[in-house]
Structure 1
């Protein structure tokens, strides 16, 4: 895989030394690793984290021409090359998980272990038909939020309450504000994502899937099929949780990161 794509914005937090865990955010409006995973990062300051804004998000340039996930994967590899990071761990959510899986399949030597949260890389992992997956939900959420060109904080709060949190009344106003301020709906990140089904068998890294039982994008049956389709995967399903367990259940997610990536 070539690495000529623009290097994405990034920052290092936590410990200055030790194994590096790359954090990749989801694909919703205003998503960033720094805000989406803020609660987990605060619980584990002793880890060495590399927070990455994927193309079209946060401080990163809009994505270049080409398949969206592949372009983001090239950008991530370019960043790792520039920082001299030959082998990393990954903590990623949703869209960020697709990017991580693409890198893991194409350059398996670069990724040691991954924790992927609510990641839907293909409609039918392992060819299993009829799984509970809503491939059009992301587009509908974006349309409700900014389809008329008038996004606001109330719409951002409604999006997060509808899809990302099981208890929509518990969404912190600070997180709503961070997401709204970081929103770049005009950056050209909309559009269909690649189907990565044919790449799953090439993912050699051990993967731990973390899933909200009430994730509206895909249910636990989908998560089970995805775990079976990956060569080395385990699955944890969290009750009373939706698409963003890292925000809704940060203590549990941090513990799972420690268990899978090492403390």
Structure 2
């Protein structure tokens, strides 16, 4: 199935770096990476809005496999993939079915309780919520995406997270995307044909060093950073990707 994706990018040459955002965000969260990549990445980069996010079309059903299939046409031989949170799981799915050279999963939640999964299913079952003002919708988007306090309300990436229709506002996020469930991390790592590295911000409440270490792949902890480490410190995260790509 071909999905209409909004994609931004830059650079020239190889290797291609594919950047996949987390749940509720959009490819706009990588905007500050552009200048850093221009100096420190030798090839091109692409940052799509995942299906049901930002300016990309929705899916009939949201699974990790379906999300990976939607971005699969962007991959070429030798592609390095960095995915954040949900995007990190999608990156691992890609590594099992595409010519990926290396994968870095950043801030992936690997342990889920029954209560957390039940809450996610309830969110997925809700109809689209409408707000009477842009400010209300933006505030909700910042909370859902985890970007509150990191991006200003007038940031372009934040503007991409909301839509206006007939004087009302909603999130660009398709709420059904909450229903992807918990990833089979051990299985995904085992099926990856590319080297896998996992990373987390030191203060990320979504995971622990111990949880990631149990998966048997290299784990990097980024000192002083949180769940959205890629937004907090693009330079440090680019350095991480460069180091992982060099080891492929």
Please give the TM-score of this superposition, normalised by the length of structure 1.
0.73
Give the distance between the partners of 1:242 and 1:119, measured in 2 at CA: 12
| Whole-angstrom CA distance in 1 between matches of 2:119 and 2:231 | 19
* Alignment-derived partner of residue 173 in structure 1: 152
Return closer, same or farther for 1:41/1:175 CA change in 2, 3 Å cut-off. farther
Give the whole-Å Cα distance in 2 for the aligned partners of 1:179 and 1:38. 11
**Is the contact made by 1:114 and 1:208 (CA closer than 8 Å) also made in structure 2?**
yes
CA contact (8 A) 2:161 2:173 kept: no
Q: Which of 39, 47, 63 lines up with 1:51 in the alignment?
A: 47
Correspondence for 1:238: 222
- Aligned pair partner of 1:32 in 9, 26, 38: 26
What aligned pairs does 1:124-143 form with structure 2 within 5 A after superposition?
Answer: 135=116, 139=120
d(CA) in 2 for partners of 1:79, 1:240: 33
The answer (yes or no) to whether the contact 2:20–2:87 under 8 Å persists in 1 is: yes
1:1-263 correspondence runs (5 A):
4-13=1-10, 15-28=11-24, 31-33=25-27, 35-46=28-39, 47=41, 48-65=44-61, 67-80=62-75, 85-105=76-96, 107=97, 110-120=99-109, 122-123=110-111, 135=116, 139=120, 149-150=130-131, 151-158=136-143, 163=146, 168=149, 171-173=150-152, 178-183=157-162, 184-186=172-174, 188-197=176-185, 198-226=187-215, 228=216, 233-262=217-246
User: What are the superposed Cα offsets for residues 199-243 of structure 1, whole Å, 9 maximum, x if unpaired?
Assistant: 3211131122220122122222222223x1xxxx32111233211
After superposition, the Cα gap between the structure-2 partners of 1:54 and 1:215, relative to the gap in structure 1 and judged at 3 Å, is same
Number of positions where the alignment pairs a residue of Structure 1 with one of Structure 2: 227
In structure 2, stretches of 5+ residues that fail to align are 163-171
CA distance 1:186–1:74, change in 2 (3 Å)? closer
| Structure 1 unmatched ranges of 5 or more | 125-129
Aligned-CA RMSD value? 3.2
Residue 164 and residue 222 in structure 1: after superposition, are their counterparts in 2 closer, same or farther (change >3 A)? Answer: farther
Distance 1:181 1:6, change over 3 A: closer
- Secondary structure of the residue aligned to 2:198 is strand
Q: Distance in 2 between matches of 1:72 and 1:262?
A: 27
